[in-house]
Amino acid sequence: MYNILIGAKHERFIPRSGLILGEALIRNKLTSKHGLDIGTGESGILAHCLIAAGVQTVTAVDIKASALHYAKSMDLRAGSITWIESNIFAKLTVDVLYDIIVSNPPQMPMRTPGELHDYGGEDGREIILKIIEGCSSFLTTNGQLYILCFDFLGVDTPYNTRPSLIAIAESMGFNSIIISRNQRRVRNHGKTKENIAWIKEVYPGYVFRELDDGTLIHDVFVLQLKRVSLVP
């Protein structure tokens, strides 16, 4: 349906959150020339979704060499995607600008550091804010950032004394809108369940919703940031 072709092995999986963001990108029918996928992971799914959505060339970066190597080895349409080992923007040069940047970043609040693909700092916002703060140097004049965020991080509503992510982005010269909202179950033995006490401590104003069977749920947002001005 979406004309996406990647290889896979049975022990690997594509995170559902990545599919949520990928579907949002494809629905937008992008006409961008150059795209950047930050934290592409071992599936590289968002890089492939950008191509399927109409982006001509894509650069995919990840901090983990093993994940990048696997994603590259499973790329069955070599040529349209360039794979680079990089900690967010660290190995990129500002002379190459992108019309669209996408990311499904690590964003789990954790009291102590965990796996790179989960850990978003103590408040879960660390990588998200680095991407928002740094992307202006790599976006074209009318460039856009699409980023997936868990609602308990305070995307549009603050749940602690810190501003919402949208308020922070707008203070940096972005127009911000939520283009997708999806319900996510808190799985037993999953990272959200494992860290739920800490999440409630960091975000005391947030309340997880509960289904009739007792399952906790929260929302996953796809946030679109449009660059409208440069902040001195």
pLDDT tens by residue, 7-37: 555 455 556 787 889 888 888 777 789 999 9
Pair of tokens at residue 159 = 């749940």
Number of domains present in the structure of the chain:
1
Indicate whether 11 belongs to any domain.
Answer: no
For residue 125, which phi and psi values (nearest 5 degrees)? -95, -5
Query: Is pLDDT larger for residue 219 or for residue 73?
Result: 219
Q: What is the pTM of this model?
A: 0.91
pLDDT tens by residue, 156-202: 999 999 999 999 999 999 999 999 999 999 999 999 999 999 999 99
Indicate whether 130 belongs to any domain.
Answer: yes
- Let me know: does 208 contact 186? Beta carbons within 8 Å: yes
pLDDT tens by residue, 120-129: 999 999 999 9
CA distance 81 to 36: 9
Specify the pLDDT at position 85: 97
Indicate whether 3 belongs to any domain.
Answer: no
What is the CATH classification number for the domain harbouring 42? 3.40.50.150
The range of the structural domain enclosing residue 89 comes to 16-227
